[in-house]
């Protein structure tokens, strides 16, 4: 049996000290019904609920960076009270536990009311620097929005969300954060692939943290019901709280707000494309109004480069949320947001212009990002063909996207006229089946490398400078699904050591970290079709 390894917790005489403000519940309309049963919640932004009590909560891991943002010390995080609070077993006096009401388009169809079905917001804290953070427990029990579900989460999905939230932060990608993960000591029944084979799994609770958990669906729900009064209250609250630089509410401010949402979303998706991240279920209810990556469900990282890949089993046929489609899906989602706020603006042309501008904004950011990945000073019109050709040759054989770009920095300009083997040598580590490259494939791949090196030569950048630039945007380490699954397998046996080790590795994804070299390796063959390592479902 695996040795039990967990975070040590201690009782402390110093209680946790938070400054709760709870503006969201103070200023927005509440559900008048206080009984916690499933229902349609009308003319309200949230329902008051209380987290479920668990028998034997145990701290699995915490993020020291997020803890510092909340003015918590390491001793605070290792205290018994911390485990009680962030499992939901202790509600502090100034908290205001609630679940948000929202709707959303799922897979292109309006799904009606959704809401926080297994997430309970504890309240909003203000840190010593005056920054607002909302604390949310995921997997903490039923809410009026749970529909037919139990409001719980399993260790499997909780570890994936905890690790990926923090990995994305350290990659420099806009994201919600994670403070902690706590094992509940109870079992949760899940049918992982909806195939009629449910099983009991260890339960867990993640504490998610963000300035706000509002998403596009938070506004859609009220427009869909014709409740424009509540829509206006929520929009004005959002402007005052999260976009105060835009000024007082009014038509022009609403338009400027929508323009900023579009630009933030473009920034987020460009970063996803930069590192090979696929959200997997990029619905409007999973699209943050702040341009943050939110709701880490069936996400994945592109191992072998394929623009049509999706990690979501539910999306395996239509591939709506495939890697290469994410920019277009973002625009489609933003169109739904434009429809949601139209009643406040009554100017379709102005909204349409902003949506059209999104294409230009995204394209400019996308082009510069691709130039950065190749170590070029700027994107030039002729570089489009260079990138399109790279997109083609990378699909000759299974090519690991992360390793390819990282090791492309090792190809030297001085070797531009070298033989094929010399030019390909630094990149061979990126190929899953190098023997499958035929003579024509090799010739075309090498032709691209020579063309690329000529472009670098024309830029006048030396190899050392180019490599340093490329290594700042092309990570060595990403949270590949198989790594998460290895940590999950251990954690389900009570050994949390790999969760904490991966958290440490992902703190410096752009550094060499030779002591962790094995975590930068290609996906192993055993993980190609293993559940949790390739495709995942929307199940928790």
Would 41 be classed as within a structural domain?
A: no
Would 306 be classed as within a structural domain?
A: yes
Kindly compute the dihedral angle of the four CA atoms of residues 14, 19, 25, 28, in this order, to the nearest 10 degrees: 180
Would 491 be classed as within a structural domain?
A: no
Average pLDDT value for residue range 231-254: 98
Task: Kindly state whether residues 270 and 319 are assigned to the same domain.
Answer: yes
In the DSSP assignment, the letter for residue 108 is: T
Q: Higher model confidence: residue 194 or residue 83? A: 83
In sequence order, the 6+-apart residues with CB closer than 8 A to the CB of 386 are 374, 448, 451, 452, 455
Would 440 be classed as within a structural domain?
A: yes
Q: Higher model confidence: residue 180 or residue 535? A: 180
Task: Kindly state whether residues 298 and 416 are assigned to the same domain.
Answer: no
Would 529 be classed as within a structural domain?
A: no
Task: Kindly state whether residues 249 and 345 are assigned to the same domain.
Answer: yes
pLDDT at 12: 53
Sole residue written with tokens 């939110």:
294
Would 336 be classed as within a structural domain?
A: yes
Would 169 be classed as within a structural domain?
A: no
Average pLDDT value for residue range 405-416: 98
Sole residue written with tokens 């297994």:
118
Q: Higher model confidence: residue 4 or residue 334? A: 334
Which runs of consecutive H residues, i.e. helices, occur in 133-227? Answer: 155-170, 216-224
Q: How far is CA 315 from the centre of its chain?
A: 18
pLDDT at 10 over 70: no
pLDDT at 4 over 50: no
Average pLDDT value for residue range 114-136: 98
Kindly compute the dihedral angle of the four CA atoms of residues 353, 354, 356, 362, in this order, to the nearest 10 degrees: 160
Q: How many CA atoms lie within 13 A of 67 on its CB side?
A: 17
Task: Kindly state whether residues 321 and 405 are assigned to the same domain.
Answer: no
Q: Higher model confidence: residue 5 or residue 514? A: 514
Q: Could you read off the pLDDT of 160-219 as tens digits, one per residue?
A: 999 999 999 999 999 999 999 999 999 999 887 667 788 999 999 999 999 999 999 999
pLDDT at 14: 77
What is the rounded CA–CA span in Å between residue 168 and residue 275? Answer: 10
| Element housing 232 (H / E) | helix 228-242
What is the rounded CA–CA span in Å between residue 98 and residue 120? Answer: 6
Residue 97 CB neighbour total at 10 angstroms? 24
Task: Kindly state whether residues 360 and 252 are assigned to the same domain.
Answer: yes
In sequence order, the 6+-apart residues with CB closer than 8 A to the CB of 363 are none
Residue 529 CB neighbour total at 10 angstroms? 9
Q: Could you read off the pLDDT of 340-389 as tens digits, one per residue?
A: 999 999 999 999 999 999 999 999 999 999 999 999 999 999 999 999 99
Three-state DSSP class for residue 241: helix
Task: Kindly state whether residues 355 and 440 are assigned to the same domain.
Answer: no
Task: Kindly state whether residues 417 and 461 are assigned to the same domain.
Answer: yes
* Percent of the chain clearing pLDDT 90 (strictly above): 92
Query: Which of 206, 207, 214 minimizes the C-alpha distance to 236?
Result: 214
pLDDT at 520 over 50: yes
Phi/psi at 150 (5° precision): -100, -5
Give me the DSSP letters along 463-477. HHHHHHHHHHHS-S-
pLDDT at 331 over 60: yes
pLDDT at 531: 82
pLDDT at 1: 32
Task: Kindly state whether residues 359 and 244 are assigned to the same domain.
Answer: yes
Task: Kindly state whether residues 430 and 306 are assigned to the same domain.
Answer: no
* Helix axes of 228-242 and 251-275: crossing angle, nearest 10 degrees: 70
Give me the DSSP letters along 172-195. T--B-EEEEEEEEEEEEEE-TTSS
What is the rounded CA–CA span in Å between residue 231 and residue 192? Answer: 36
Evaluate whether 160 touches 488 at the Cβ level (below 8 Å): yes
Among 473, 499, 518, identify where a domain stops: 473
Question: Residue 315 burial (CB < 10 Å; 0-12/13-18/19+)?
Answer: buried
Evaluate whether 216 touches 285 at the Cβ level (below 8 Å): yes
Q: Which residues of 318-347 are buried (b: 16+ CB within 10 A; e: fewer)?
A: eebbbbbbbbebbbebbbbbbebbbebbee
Give rounded-to-5 percent helix, strand, coil for the chain: 45, 15, 40
pTM for the whole thing? 0.96
Paired tokens of 446 = 């090498």
Per the structure, the count of domains in the chain is 2
Q: Which residue range forms the structural domain that includes residue 449? A: 383-473
In the DSSP assignment, the letter for residue 184 is: E
pLDDT at 2: 37
**DSSP E strands, 386-431:** none
Q: How many CA atoms lie within 13 A of 207 on its CB side?
A: 27
Sole residue written with tokens 């000759």:
396
- List Cα–Cα distances, 153 to 96, 165, 281, 356, in angstroms: 22, 16, 18, 39
Task: Kindly state whether residues 322 and 406 are assigned to the same domain.
Answer: no
Give me the DSSP letters along 252-291. HHHHHHHHHHHHHHHHHHHHHHHHTEE-S---GGGBBTTS
Mean pLDDT of the chain: 95
Q: How far is CA 311 from the centre of its chain?
A: 13
Average pLDDT value for residue range 441-464: 96
Task: Kindly state whether residues 268 and 388 are assigned to the same domain.
Answer: no
Enzyme catalytic residues = 285
Among 347, 372, 397, identify where a domain stops: 372
User: Among 49-53, 83-87, 189-193, 200-204, where is mean pLDDT lowest?
Assistant: 189-193
Grade residue 3 by pLDDT with cuts at 50, 70 and 90.
Answer: very low
Among 372, 401, 418, identify where a domain stops: 372
Average pLDDT value for residue range 435-459: 96
Would 347 be classed as within a structural domain?
A: yes
Query: Which of 253, 236, 219 minimizes the C-alpha distance to 338?
Result: 219
pLDDT at 186: 96
Task: Kindly state whether residues 295 and 334 are assigned to the same domain.
Answer: yes
């Amino acid at each position: 049996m695996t040795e039990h390894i967990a975070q040590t917790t201690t009782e402390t005489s110093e209680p946790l000290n938070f400054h709760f403000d709870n503006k969201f519940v103070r200023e927005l309309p509440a559900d008048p019904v206080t009984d916690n049963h499933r229902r349609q919640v009308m003319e309200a932004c949230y329902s008051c609920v209380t987290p479920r009590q668990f028998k034997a909560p145990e701290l699995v891991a915490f993020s020291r960076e997020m803890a510092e943002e909340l003015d918590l010390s390491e001793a605070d995080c290792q205290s018994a009270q911390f485990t009680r609070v962030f499992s939901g077993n202790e509600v502090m006096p100034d908290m205001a536990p609630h679940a948000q009401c929202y709707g959303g388009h799922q897979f292109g169809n309006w799904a009606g009311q959704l809401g926080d079905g297994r997430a309970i917001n504890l309240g909003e804290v203000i840190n010593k620097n005056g920054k607002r953070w909302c604390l949310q427990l995921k997997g903490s029990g039923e809410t009026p929005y749970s529909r037919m579900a139990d409001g719980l989460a399993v260790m499997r999905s909780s570890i994936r969300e905890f690790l990926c939230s923090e990995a994305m932060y350290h990659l420099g990608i806009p994201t919600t954060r994670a403070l902690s993960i706590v094992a509940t000591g109870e079992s949760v029944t899940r049918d992982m692939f909806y195939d009629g084979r449910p099983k009991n799994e260890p339960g867990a609770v993640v504490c998610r943290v963000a300035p706000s958990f509002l998403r596009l669906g938070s506004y859609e729900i009220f427009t869909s019901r014709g409740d424009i009064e509540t829509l206006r209250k929520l929009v004005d609250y959002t402007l005052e709280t999260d976009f105060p630089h835009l000024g007082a509410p009014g038509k022009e401010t609403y338009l400027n707000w929508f323009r900023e949402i579009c630009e933030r979303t473009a920034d987020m998706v460009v970063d996803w494309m930069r590192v090979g991240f696929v959200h997997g279920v990029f619905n409007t209810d999973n699209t943050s109004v702040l341009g943050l990556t939110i709701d880490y469900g069936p996400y994945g990282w592109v191992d072998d480069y394929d623009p049509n890949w999706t990690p979501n089993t539910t999306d395996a046929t239509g591939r709506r949320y495939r890697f290469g489609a994410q920019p277009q899906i973002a625009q489609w989602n933003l169109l739904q947001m434009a429809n949601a706020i139209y009643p406040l603006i009554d100017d379709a042309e102005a909204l349409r212009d902003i949506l059209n501008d999104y294409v230009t904004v995204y394209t400019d950011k996308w082009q510069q990002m691709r130039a950065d990945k190749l170590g070029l000073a700027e994107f030039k019109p002729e570089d489009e063909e260079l990138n399109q050709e790279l997109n083609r040759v990378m699909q000759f054989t299974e090519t690991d996207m992360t390793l390819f770009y990282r090791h492309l920095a090792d190809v030297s300009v001085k070797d531009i006229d070298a033989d094929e083997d010399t030019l390909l040598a630094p990149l061979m580590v990126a190929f899953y089946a190098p023997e499958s490259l035929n003579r024509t494939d090799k010739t075309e791949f090498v032709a691209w490398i020579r063309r690329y090196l000529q472009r670098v030569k024309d830029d006048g950048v030396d190899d050392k400078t180019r490599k340093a630039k490329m290594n700042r945007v092309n990570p060595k380490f990403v949270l590949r699904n198989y790594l998460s699954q290895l940590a999950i397998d251990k954690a389900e046996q009570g050994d949390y050591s790999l969760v904490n080790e991966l958290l440490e590795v992902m703190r410096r994804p752009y550094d060499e970290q030779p002591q962790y070299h094995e975590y930068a390796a290609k996906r192993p063959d055993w993980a190609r079709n293993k559940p949790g390592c390739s495709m995942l479902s929307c199940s928790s």
